[in-house]
Amino acid sequence: MDFDFGALANGAQQYATRSEELRRRIDELKTEAESADGRVKAQWTSAGLAGVVLDPRALRMPAAELGERITDTVRDAQREFEREVGELTAESFGPNGDQMAEPPSAEEAAAFVTDLHSTFESTLHETTAIIDSMRRAFQQR
């Protein structure tokens, strides 16, 4: 099995670029939700709750009802934010996450490790032979 380090490095660079772009887009994202009666609006960003706007009519509502309406509207804004982040992520990486490459099978990984070990062992023997040859040459002087 040949392992293409160049392709791996290129794929990693593309992944990093897409990740940075996704992070930028998420940081710029702001969602808003509004209660059905229009009395409560909530905004959500990557930092969390960005604001709540109450229509003056909301202040005439019983406190428990207003609290529930605010909570529901904030949750709606958060859910919308999460949905849009999911869409942005799918745009960047496909619906199943990173589509950079399928992971190798266990057999492919084992073959790669075996080849790597063989290459390392061969290089070690060659290097040892060169060093021994250099020692002999210096000892003869």
Is 29:84 a contact under the CB 8 Å cutoff? yes
Report residue 14 as tokens.
């593309």
For 70-91, the pLDDT digits (tens) are: 999 999 999 999 999 989 888 8
Paired tokens of 24: 């930028």
- Output the pLDDT for position 121: 86
Kindly tell me if the per-residue pLDDT of 44 is higher than 50: yes
What is the pTM for the complete model shown?
0.63
Tokens 């930028």 sit at which residue?
Answer: 24
- 3-class DSSP state of 130: helix
Burial class of 127 by CB neighbour count within 10 A (0 to 12, 13 to 18, 19+): exposed
What per-residue confidence (pLDDT) applies to 9?
77
Identify the pLDDT of residue 1. 52
